[in-house]
């Protein structure tokens, strides 16, 4: 169980915490114009602490990879869930993200008594859950989930770059950079572009959903 000191000043652990395993949950890929949104759920082993856990966005790619390897070797269990581009376009990105988080939690080999989710929204789950604003920077299990989700999605981008090198997914990871938008104007959208996202819809002349 995490102490209250691990949480932002305006947010404290709820009094009804139960003893037992806690899972941290975070996502990667809400903002990009292409590809799935990826969520990870991680239950850490308190007997095998991992030094240097932090928000994945604050880490270099080599450091994320090194921590990813440690997390996979030392955690009690870990699971990844995704929501596809089709689900993102059909449900909207928020609901697709919550769906990916649900899938990650349900994929855990061990059942946690509580789930700590980065941000201010939580998916529907069959156990206690708490949203922790800024949790990826201050709750180790959420930091670990952030790293796992980010590394998993970056690997997807590298694989997808092999199929569609003209878009530059290896560099921008699907985000709406100037280079990515130029590629969209030149080549149109590929099957993994999110057509419900305004920049893609505008360039395709479809109108934002």
User: Sign of torsion, CA 68 73 75 79?
Assistant: positive
Q: What is the pLDDT of residue 6?
A: 46
**Contact in structure between 157 and 35 (CB atoms under 8 Å):** yes
CB within 8 Å of 69: residues ≥ 6 apart: none
Cβ contact 1:113 at 8 Å: no
**CATH architecture observed for domain 20-161:** 2-Layer Sandwich (3.30)
State how far the Cα of 15 lies from the Cα of 109, in Å rounded to an integer.
27
- Give dist(CA 122, CA 171) in Å, integer: 31
Each residue's pLDDT tens digit, 148-204? 999 999 999 999 999 999 999 999 999 999 999 999 999 999 999 999 999 999 988
Domain residue extents for the chain: 20-161
In this structure, how many other beta carbons lie within 10 angstroms of the beta carbon of residue 64? 20
Give the C-alpha separation, 121 to 95, whole Å.
Answer: 10
Q: How far apart, in Å, are the Cα atoms of 116 and each of 7, 85, 101?
A: 11, 26, 11
Tens-digit pLDDT profile for residues 84-143: 999 999 999 999 999 999 999 999 999 999 999 999 999 999 999 999 999 999 999 999
């Amino acid at each position: 169980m995490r102490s209250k000191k691990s949480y932002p000043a305006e947010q404290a652990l709820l009094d009804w915490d139960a003893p037992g395993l806690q899972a941290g949950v975070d996502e990667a890929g809400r903002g990009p114009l292409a590809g799935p949104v990826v969520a990870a759920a991680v239950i850490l082993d308190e007997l095998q602490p991992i030094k240097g856990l932090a928000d994945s966005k604050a880490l270099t790619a080599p450091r994320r990879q090194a921590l990813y390897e440690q997390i996979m070797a030392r955690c009690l269990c870990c699971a990844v869930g995704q929501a596809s581009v089709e689900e993102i376009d059909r449900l909207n990105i928020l609901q697709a993200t919550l769906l990916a988080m649900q899938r990650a939690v349900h994929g855990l080999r061990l059942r946690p008594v509580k789930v700590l989710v980065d941000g201010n929204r939580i998916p529907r789950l069959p156990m206690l859950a708490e949203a922790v604003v800024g949790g990826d920077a201050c709750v180790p299990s959420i930091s670990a989930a952030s790293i796992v989700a980010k590394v998993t999605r970056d690997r997807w981008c590298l694989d997808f770059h092999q199929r569609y090198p003209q878009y530059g997914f290896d560099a921008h990871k699907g985000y709406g950079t100037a280079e990515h938008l130029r590629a969209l104007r030149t080549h149109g959208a590929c099957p993994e572009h999110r057509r419900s996202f305004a920049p893609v819809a505008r360039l395709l002349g479809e109108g934002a959903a």
